[in-house]
Amino acid sequence: MRALVIGLGSIGRRHARILARIGCDVAAVSRSQAGTPGVYGNIGAAMRYWAPAYAVVATPTSAHGSALRELREAGYDGPVLVEKPLFAQPGELPPEQLEGVHVGYNLRFHPLLRQLRWRLRHQRVLTATLYVGQHLPHWRERDYRTCYSASRAQGGGVLRDLSHELDYACWLFGPWRALTARGGHYSGLEIDSDDVYGLMAETARCPLLQLHLNYLDRRARRFLLVHTEAHTYALDLIRGELQIDRDATINCGGTGTMEGTYAAQHRAMLRGGRGVCTAAQAAETVHMIEAAERAAAERRWVKR
């Protein structure tokens, strides 16, 4: 199958590499790299000369809407995977223009998150704590000050950049009902986007959900802690380890697991998109981000 990756930043290159590994023929769109083999300068040219059957939008968040419009204007009506978050702000495109669009919340394909979701399905959840942190200068391959994460205008900042946690929180515990938040640019990092956010929320299945997102942690960490009426679950997504209560541990190993989630997500897209975050679900995450920013600015609880 012919696939097209729109955008060749670090995440675009990762998508291209993984698509090639699972057997796709891959071309790309990149203005800066146009003219190199397999790279087109714009979406229109790629549609004319490559005619893909699958498209991946991996541009900065602020350019997602324009890329989707260009695909439709070029006559493309096949499946599209857009990198997360769907948009920087709610309502950039109407729902009817998002048919066939899914969003790249690939942690839904992490084997231990799926295992945890299965174990929680009949349990009464009491509290959940989600944490993700990584020092931005250590995270990005190039100068962190020039990457989209550093730019609010491009859709950067922890709420959008690390919105996996918002997505899988609702995937595990149901839609949010009310939330409050604090956050902003607290550190000396040379960025104009938010580098820390903390949220407290109530969801359909969890009366007390806490999330902490930051660009500050010198040791990358990503974990969640869930207390139910019957069990305690501690999942370390970096180490690939799920601990249940005091003794039982399920280990899938950290090495290769994240790459595997991307591959599984692409395979699901090529089979029709089952299990991949839909555009409608991703739009709810964008609304959650907007609600968190409003709650922080107004120092109040926001209800759906």
How much is the mean pLDDT over the chain?
Answer: 96
Q: What is the mean pLDDT of residues 260-283?
A: 98
Instruction: State the pTM of this model.
Output: 0.94
Residue 222 pLDDT > 70 = yes
Percent of the chain with pLDDT over 90: 90
Residue 214 pLDDT > 80 = yes
Domains 2-103 and 107-252+278-303 belong to one CATH topology:
no
> What topology is assigned to 107-252+278-303 in CATH?
Dihydrodipicolinate Reductase; domain 2 (3.30.360)
In angstroms, the CA 1 to CA 52 distance is 8
Q: Where are the domains of the chain?
A: 2-103, 107-252+278-303
Residue 135 pLDDT > 70 = yes
What is residue 32's predicted lDDT score, i.e. its pLDDT?
Answer: 87
Name 211's Cβ contacts closer than 8 Å, sequence gap at least 6: 129, 130, 131, 165, 166, 169, 197, 198, 199, 200, 201
Q: What is the mean pLDDT of residues 112-117?
A: 97
Residue 75 pLDDT > 80 = yes
Q: pLDDT by residue (tens digit) across 24-69?
A: 999 999 998 888 899 999 999 999 999 999 999 999 999 999 999 9
Q: Which CATH superfamily is domain 2-103 in?
A: NAD(P)-binding Rossmann-like Domain (3.40.50.720)
Q: What is the mean pLDDT of residues 117-121?
A: 97
